[in-house]
Amino acid sequence: MTQVEVIEAVLGGNDEVAAQLRERFDAAGVRTLDIIGSPGSGKTALLEATLPALPSALRVGVLVGDLATRRDADRIARVASQVVQINTAGGCHLEAHHVEKGLAALDLAALDLLVIENVGNLICPVGWDLGQHAKVGVFSVAEGDDKPGKHPPLVLAADALVLTKSDLLPYVPFDRAFFEQDIRQMNPSVPILEVSALKGDLAPWLTWLEAFVAG
Ligand SMILES: Nc1nc2c(ncn2[C@@H]2O[C@H](COP(=O)(O)OP(=O)(O)OP(=O)(O)O)[C@@H](O)[C@H]2O)c(=O)[nH]1
Ligand SMILES: [Mg+2]
Ligand SMILES: [Zn+2]
């Protein structure tokens, strides 16, 4: 009983901070995305390819979470003017207070879009509100076509699902219809956006993203 109360208090604290963050994003006119996918699914590569392909007037900042290192932030710094790496000290997901800390190093007034790359993890990041306006799930063809069926929470929570590394389709067994059927059973309307960050084939994702930024 006591333990349940402690857990509820922690989650309540997160939701409270997340609500404050959402108010700050709205007041600053910044649209915010939380990108969730397993380690190595291609989240950072997607951002590295996406940012230069967006209209140059769009001001984009990135918060990237990892257990250790600043490697992803260093990669993204080549294409974004504002980047912050959040090290979670072993934590397997970002929480709202991490984002709050990260914002201290960002100028929200100078942004139109804030992208949060969550810690590589398909599971628990889904349950933590970061004040985002949308959650994007990233799957890659290299992970196998069965992953959406095995990870319902992300599929249910996602506002869009990116299927990346499509350039590998000729080389790995991947049944696109099976992948889509699993998703549709859980989430009939979520957009499934097939891309290759490597090849720069991003059209459906860029279209979705530009509509999202426009609100
Ligand atoms: N063939 C191919 N490889 C890709 C593509 N996107 C990413 N990769 C490769 O996949 C590996 C992982 O990519 P990352 O972008 O680091 O993945 P991530 O999801 O950010 O990984 P974590 O931040 O560690 O969770 C790298 O070796 C990339 O070069 C793609 O579209 N096609
Ligand atoms: Mg990454
Ligand atoms: Zn976690």
Residue 1: what pLDDT? 47
For a pLDDT cut of 70, what percent of the chain falls above it?
94
Tell me which H or E stretch contains 37.
strand 31-37
Residue in 198, 201, 202 to alter for ligand 1 test, most ligand atoms within 8 A of Cβ: 198
Mean pLDDT is lowest, of 6-10, 99-103, 110-114, 135-139, for 6-10
pLDDT band at 7 (very low <50, low <70, confident <90, very high): very low
C-alpha–C-alpha distance, residues 122 and 144, integer Å: 14
- Taking CB atoms and a 6 Å cutoff, what residues make up the pocket around ligand 1? 37, 39-45, 72, 120, 164-165, 167-168, 196-198
Which atom of ligand 1 is nearest the CA belonging to 196? 31
- For 109-163, the pLDDT digits (tens) are 999 999 999 999 999 999 999 999 999 999 999 999 999 999 999 999 999 999 9
C-alpha–C-alpha distance, residues 29 and 188, integer Å: 30
What is the Å distance from ligand 3's center to 167 Cα? 30
pLDDT band at 98 (very low <50, low <70, confident <90, very high): very high
CB 208 within 8 A of CB 191: yes
Asked if the model's pLDDT at residue 61 lies above 50, the reply is yes
Residue in 115, 165, 171, 205 to alter for ligand 1 test, most ligand atoms within 8 A of Cβ: 165
C-alpha–C-alpha distance, residues 113 and 179, integer Å: 30
pTM of the complete model? 0.95
The fold for domain 2-214 equals: Rossmann fold (3.40.50)
Q: Count Cα neighbours of 105 within 13 Å in the Cβ-side half-sphere.
A: 14
What is the Å distance from ligand 3's center to 172 Cα? 29
Residue 11: what pLDDT? 54
C-alpha–C-alpha distance, residues 97 and 80, integer Å: 23
Which atom of ligand 1 is nearest the CA belonging to 199? 31
Which atom of ligand 1 is nearest the CA belonging to 195? 31
Asked if the model's pLDDT at residue 69 lies above 50, the reply is yes
What is the Å distance from ligand 1's center to 165 Cα? 8
What is the Å distance from ligand 2's center to 1 Cα? 38
Asked if the model's pLDDT at residue 27 lies above 50, the reply is yes
Where do the domains of the chain lie? Answer: 2-214
